[in-house]
Structure 1
Amino acid sequence: MYLTFNFSTSNYSNLSDADSLRVEELTHRSVKISIIIILGVMITLGNIAVLLVITSSVAGWSRNSRYFLLSLTAADSAFGLLVMPLNLWVSLLKDYSEGPDTLCHVVAFCNATVYSTCMYTLATISLERYIAVFYPLQYSTLMTRKRTLLLIAFTWCFPLFLLSPITFPDGIIEVHFSTASLVCNPSYSSNVAYTLSLTCLIFFPCSIVMTYANLRVWCAAKRQRLKLRKYGCALSNRHNVAARVLVPVMAAYYTCWTPCMAVMIYCALSRSSVPEWIEFVVVWLPTSNGFLNCVFYFWINKNFRRKFHLILQRLALAICPELADAFGWSNTSSAQFVSGILDNSMVHERTSSVSSTCTLLSLA
């Protein structure tokens, strides 16, 4: 009688432990899904606002600059409109207790392609800025419309070719659904050579181009600022545009992308995994760069904010005139505002502009 009672208590204890682990797992899962959804909404809304502005003329932004920035906006929007919904759908509706399938390979391919395209696009923007600053007279020859579109096509098509092996279920790369990060992840330890080649062809080249181009532009802006200050052409309390833009851009890039690449290389070489929450953070951290790009490339630009304010006025006047009147956005004031913006755009629209991030002339 005593042994039977003891056995029942032991089973009850084991069931309680299993239930506690299950509740904890569901709690972690709910928190992760909430974080992903909030991040996806922020990225989507931020890039929709950006798209509304840069599809029209913005003072100081050339046609080529808008092409590159549109490409960046499309890549960042894919985080919120493609990567997050696909992985959430897989995590909520699919049961991966039996292992990966073709769908998970396709989702993993989409994830890797969007990540790679974003990095390539950031590198091409830095390259365009570098050419505009150091070769302004040759800019129209070096950065023709055809070459600009070819560069953009490369940033979108080359990752498709480079990452195509991930799509094959019986290929050189295994894919599994990770319950830690809620993502269809390639098992990079299954092919170390391929993993290292990806980092050598994507992350490191893009990082080198971005670092070199932005560092050169920042140094040039600093030298010009010192010269202007020396001859009394610049106020001492004038904001340092280069430091305010280029430094945060590079800091955000390395903060978001380096941990992910480091963990990927570590897992491939050591053939081991990292703790659950570390994996979740490093996998989803690069997507936050899609929102930070909206802040650093667009919202700190005065011309962008003015144009967005104009668009809000137009939408308010078209949808809800009463709301426009409440904010003082009358038809007369809006028409004057539109005229001023368009005149300013025609004056500042130039072929060799330095996009929205660092125009050396603005330091004067």
Structure 2
Amino acid sequence: MLNLTLSGQIAADGNLNLSMMDSQRLLELSHRPLKIGIISVLGIIITLGNMAVIAVIASSVTGWSRNSRYFLLSLTGADAAFGLVVMPLNLCVSLVKDYNDGPDPFCHVVAFFTSVIYATCMYTLASISLERYVAVFNPLKYSSMITRKRTLLLIAFAWLFPPVLLLPISFPDGIIKVHFSTASLVCNPSYSSNVVYSLTLTGLIFLPCSTIMTYANLRLWLAAKRQRLKLKKHNTGGRNRPDVASRVLIPVMTVYYTCWTPCMVTILYNAFTGNRVPEWVEFVAVWLPTANGFLNCIFYFWINRSFRRKFRLLVQRLCQVLCPPIGRRLGCTVPMSIHVVAGVWDNNNSLQERSSSVSSTCTLLSPRAPILVNETHM
């Protein structure tokens, strides 16, 4: 009699838990249209922003070296993949999946591609910070240290190592499980199903990339700050130079940690506890890294004066080609001097190799002003 009572109580508790899970899932599904709208808008913004960037940096930009453009093209490609690959695949799953808890081969493939693009973006950001660091603190050795071959090898590593490291996610019967989350509308690895592998991913992707970015950008900021204090001390004209380093380097790192830390904390929380965070917390944490794909356009590109000048030039050319009458009416004319200057820069690679590495970098200008943040004037 006692056994029957206990069995009945266990069954009742189990049914109650299932009922609570079902009600939670139904609540999450009721929010699906709003979430799909948010994801779609974010995807369009990311795609358009990065397509514009690719159109500009596909050819040389004044003050940017060839190797810098390679790294930035890699970053732009990874960011654009958020809008072109990650979002469409996960939205497709959210529309067709029957939301069962069983193994789903397609969801494993989607989780694999999502994780690969996330990792590629982080490795590329770390590579840019490393290249920027060398350009500032070893400017005379830059051409020998950051060669074209080494640049391409770093880019190849950023794109080819993540698929190898994350390959187990793609197998339905592999070492880690994958589930579709109705909270985030993403095929997520169940990190609690293999804590060791989850910690390995954290140790090989997030920690080294964050360490490189933090160290490099902190050193750059301190160097620029010291130089600004020297210039301020010897400034006799009474005019203070703008604190460009704080305006660029600090936002870059703030945005990076703001976008990526919640996602990593959620992953580790799930790995150690096996529990889920609240619905909207999970949604924001999972999709914040994709927002970084758009913010990179601002802090690595649009804040740069040379980039904006090149973008305006391309728009003017486009107006003239597509609709010359309207272009002339709107004043979209390209002076001959711009064509001449652009040609000189296109053919002067040796000068570009000694130029600033990216929009927010510090560069060696002269013995009297060794370190300055260059090409970031609004």
TM-score (norm 1): 0.89
Structure 1 counterpart of 2:305? 302
Q: Secondary structure at the match of 1:202?
A: helix
After superposition, residues 234-253 of structure 1 pair within 5 angstroms as 236-253=239-256
> Are 1:180 and 1:280, in contact at CA under 8 Å, matched by a contact in 2?
yes
CA apart distance, 1:241:
2.0
Structure 2 counterpart of 1:99? 102
**1:344–1:242 Cα change, 3 Å:** farther
Q: Secondary structure at the match of 1:350?
A: helix
Aligned pair partner of 2:128 in 125, 130, 140: 125
Deviation digits for residues 14-60 of structure 1 (CA, Å, limit 9, x no counterpart): xxxxxx99986554111100000000000000000100111111011
Structure 1 counterpart of 2:287? 284
CA apart distance, 1:341:
4.2
Distance in 2 between residues matched to 1:122 and 1:202, nearest whole Å? 11
Q: Secondary structure at the match of 1:185?
A: strand
Distance in 2 between residues matched to 1:99 and 1:164, nearest whole Å? 20
- Is 1:83 the counterpart of 2:86? The answer is yes
Structure 1 runs not aligned, ≥5 long: 1-19
- Is 1:182 the counterpart of 2:185? The answer is yes
Structure 2 counterpart of 1:351? 353
Structure 2 counterpart of 1:45? 48
Distance in 1 between residues matched to 2:158 and 2:296, nearest whole Å? 17
Structure 2 counterpart of 1:17? none
Deviation digits for residues 159-212 of structure 1 (CA, Å, limit 9, x no counterpart): 111101101110110001111100000000000111111111100100000000
**1:189–1:150 Cα change, 3 Å:** same
Q: Secondary structure at the match of 2:317?
A: helix
**1:234–1:222 Cα change, 3 Å:** farther
Distance in 2 between residues matched to 1:235 and 1:319, nearest whole Å? 49
Distance in 1 between residues matched to 2:24 and 2:166, nearest whole Å? 37
Structure 1 counterpart of 2:16? none
Distance in 1 between residues matched to 2:41 and 2:167, nearest whole Å? 30
After superposition, residues 303-318 of structure 1 pair within 5 angstroms as 303-318=306-321
Output the amino acid matched with 1:67: Y
CA apart distance, 1:275:
0.8
Distance in 2 between residues matched to 1:244 and 1:346, nearest whole Å? 32
CA apart distance, 1:91:
0.7
> Are 2:301 and 2:359, in contact at CA under 8 Å, matched by a contact in 1?
yes
| Percent of aligned positions that are identical | 63
> Are 1:225 and 1:363, in contact at CA under 8 Å, matched by a contact in 2?
no
Distance in 2 between residues matched to 1:179 and 1:21, nearest whole Å? 10
Aligned pair partner of 1:271 in 274, 278, 288: 274
Q: Secondary structure at the match of 1:116?
A: helix
Higher mean alpha-carbon deviation, 96-105 vs 163-172, is at 96-105
**1:355–1:181 Cα change, 3 Å:** same
Distance in 1 between residues matched to 2:94 and 2:87, nearest whole Å? 10
Output the amino acid matched with 1:72: L
CA apart distance, 1:363:
4.5
- Is 1:339 the counterpart of 2:353? The answer is no
CA apart distance, 1:329:
1.5
Structure number with greater CO (CA < 8 Å, separation at least 6) is 1
**1:280–1:105 Cα change, 3 Å:** same
Output the amino acid matched with 1:59: T
**1:206–1:235 Cα change, 3 Å:** farther
Q: Secondary structure at the match of 1:292?
A: helix
Deviation digits for residues 71-121 of structure 1 (CA, Å, limit 9, x no counterpart): 000000100000000000111122232523111100000000000000000
Structure 1 counterpart of 2:220? 217
> Are 2:232 and 2:241, in contact at CA under 8 Å, matched by a contact in 1?
no
> Are 2:120 and 2:162, in contact at CA under 8 Å, matched by a contact in 1?
yes
Number of residue equivalences: 343
Structure 1 counterpart of 2:3? none
- Is 1:320 the counterpart of 2:323? The answer is yes
Structure 2 counterpart of 1:72? 75
> Are 2:28 and 2:182, in contact at CA under 8 Å, matched by a contact in 1?
no
Distance in 1 between residues matched to 2:63 and 2:230, nearest whole Å? 23
RMSD: 2.1
Q: Secondary structure at the match of 2:275?
A: coil
Higher mean alpha-carbon deviation, 288-297 vs 86-95, is at 86-95
Distance in 2 between residues matched to 1:100 and 1:283, nearest whole Å? 21
Distance in 1 between residues matched to 2:57 and 2:267, nearest whole Å? 35
Structure 2 runs not aligned, ≥5 long: 1-22, 366-371
CA apart distance, 1:321:
1.3
Output the amino acid matched with 2:242: H
Aligned pair partner of 2:196 in 193, 197, 206: 193
Distance in 2 between residues matched to 1:22 and 1:118, nearest whole Å? 31
> Are 1:310 and 1:338, in contact at CA under 8 Å, matched by a contact in 2?
no
Q: Secondary structure at the match of 1:186?
A: strand
> Are 2:303 and 2:359, in contact at CA under 8 Å, matched by a contact in 1?
no
